[in-house]
Amino acid sequence: MSKISAMMDIGKRSMMNSQTALQTVSHNIANKSTEGFSRQRVEHQTAPPVGSGNLRYGMGARASNITRTNNPYLEKQILSEGSDLGFAESRAGALARVEEVYNEQLNKGLNKYMGDFFNAFRELSATPESLATRTLVKEASINLANDFGRVSKQLKDVQGDLDGQVRAHVQTINAITEEIASLNEKVQSVEISGAAANDERDRRDLLLKNLAEKIQIKWAEGDNGAVMVTAGNSMILVSGHERATLSAQALSDPANRKGEQLKVFMRQKEDLPPFDATAQIKGGSLGAVLEVRDQVINGLLEDVDEMAFEFTNKLNSVHQQGFNRFNEQGGEFFTLESGKFDAAARIKLHETIRADVGRIATAAAPNSPGDNRVANVIANLQSQNIMRNESSTIDQFYNGIVGKVGVASNQAGHRVDSQKGIVTQLNKLRESVSGVSLDEETAKMIEFQKTFDASARMIRAADEMMDTVLNLKR
Tell me: pLDDT of 325 over 50: yes
Q: Are 372 and 364 in contact (CB under 8 A)?
A: no
Average pLDDT, the chain: 92
Q: Are 100 and 109 in contact (CB under 8 A)?
A: no
CA distance 312 to 117: 13
Q: Are 95 and 297 in contact (CB under 8 A)?
A: no
Q: Across residues 356-362, what is the average pLDDT?
A: 93
Confidence (pLDDT) at 473: 67
3-state secondary structure of 62: strand
In this prediction, residue 86 has a pLDDT band, given cuts at 50, 70 and 90, of very high
422 residue type, one letter: I
Confidence (pLDDT) at 91: 96
Confidence (pLDDT) at 1: 44
**pLDDT tens-digit profile of 152-163?**
999 999 999 999
| pTM of the entire predicted model | 0.89
256 residue type, one letter: N
Q: Are 330 and 374 in contact (CB under 8 A)?
A: yes
Confidence (pLDDT) at 470: 83
Q: Which residues pair with 246 in a beta bridge?
A: 266
In this prediction, residue 2 has a pLDDT band, given cuts at 50, 70 and 90, of low
**pLDDT tens-digit profile of 184-230?**
999 999 999 888 999 999 999 999 999 999 999 999 999 889 999 99
Confidence (pLDDT) at 233: 85
Q: Name which of 74, 45, 5 is nearest 428 in CA terms.
A: 74
Q: Across residues 67-72, what is the average pLDDT?
A: 93
Confidence (pLDDT) at 432: 93
CA distance 119 to 276: 51
In this prediction, residue 135 has a pLDDT band, given cuts at 50, 70 and 90, of very high
Q: Are 272 and 201 in contact (CB under 8 A)?
A: no
Tell me: pLDDT of 441 over 90: yes
Confidence (pLDDT) at 318: 94
Tell me: pLDDT of 257 over 90: no
**pLDDT tens-digit profile of 373-424?**
999 999 999 999 998 888 899 999 999 999 999 999 999 999 999 999 999 9
Q: Are 187 and 200 in contact (CB under 8 A)?
A: yes
CA distance 216 to 168: 16
> Dihedrals φ, ψ of 103, to 5°?
-75, 110
Q: Which residues pair with 250 in a beta bridge?
A: 262
In this prediction, residue 474 has a pLDDT band, given cuts at 50, 70 and 90, of low
Confidence (pLDDT) at 469: 84
Q: Across residues 346-371, what is the average pLDDT?
A: 92
Q: Which residues contact 283 (CB under 8 A, 6 or more apart)?
A: 83, 84, 86, 87, 215, 216
